[in-house]
Amino acid sequence: MMFRQAREAVVETCVKLADMGYLAGTGGNLALRVDPEHYLVTPSATDYYAMETSDICVLRLADTRQIEGEKKPSVEAGMHARVLAARPDCEASLHTHQPIASAYALLAMVLEVQGSETAVLLGKTVPCVSYAPSGTGWLAKRVGKAFAGPNHACLMRNHGIVCVGVDIQQAIDRVVALEVACAEFFRLSLTTGSRLPASGTALIEQTLLPISQKLKETGEE
Ligand SMILES: [Zn+2]
């Protein structure tokens, strides 16, 4: 089996992200460059808790041709190839459906990153690419382009997020920092009520406030 150790790292990362609730079932996927010509990508529609190292697909970066792995690669394999091509300094590309940042991505707004430590990890702003259906060349192109600049993270409108890292750990750190930054945005929006566009205010009123009210009533907060 090619790249056994790297495959193990990919499986471990998927379980970690699934435990954090960032993958939403079989959603999300990740890619890892293993040499200048190849990358690993998670298989399509596979339960992360049942995934084995042999399920991880080896693809050629130049044309996304599958070299090893019996399962079909993730539909976002092409998107990851573009991201890795745009970022030769990075080995890892993670795509998640993490709840808070995905909620933020519904607003279709750039995220202004607060705090210097978070800005070091994420950059001063996180762009939001316009909507395109999963697995399409449109989406791959838009996300790839977002990483051509100095960005380390990107929001995908009505969908989720992508973060890169020099290694898997740095990409995970960015995924976590992005979730925290988006949570902070919503916290500030709820307390000041001034930083959201009308569509965002409506979103909070319809979805987030009833949840927080319910938690208060049941004492689960
Ligand atoms: Zn997705």
Q: Is the pLDDT of residue 139 over 50?
A: yes
Predicted confidence at residue 121, as pLDDT, reads 94
Residue 26: the pLDDT is 82
160 Cα to the center of ligand 1, angstroms: 6
- CA of 216 relative to ligand 1 center, distance in Å: 32
pLDDT tens digits, one per residue of 113-133:
988 889 999 999 999 999 999
Q: How many angstroms separate the alpha carbon of residue 133 from the centre of ligand 1?
A: 9
- Mean pLDDT (whole number) for 146-169: 95
* Ligand 1 centroid from CA 219, angstroms: 33
Q: Residue 213: CB partners within 8 Å, gap ≥ 6?
A: none
Domains and CATH numbers, the chain: 4-192 (3.40.225.10)
Higher pLDDT, 188 or 211: 188
- Listed in sequence order, the residues at least 6 apart from 88 whose beta carbon sits closer than 8 Å to its beta carbon are none
Distance 102 CA to ligand 1 centre (A): 10
Average the pLDDT over 64-92 and give the result.
96
Closest-CA residue to 39 (of 56, 64, 55, 58): 58
Ligand 1 midpoint to CA 18 (Å): 14
3-15: per-residue pLDDT in tens?
A: 999 999 999 999 9
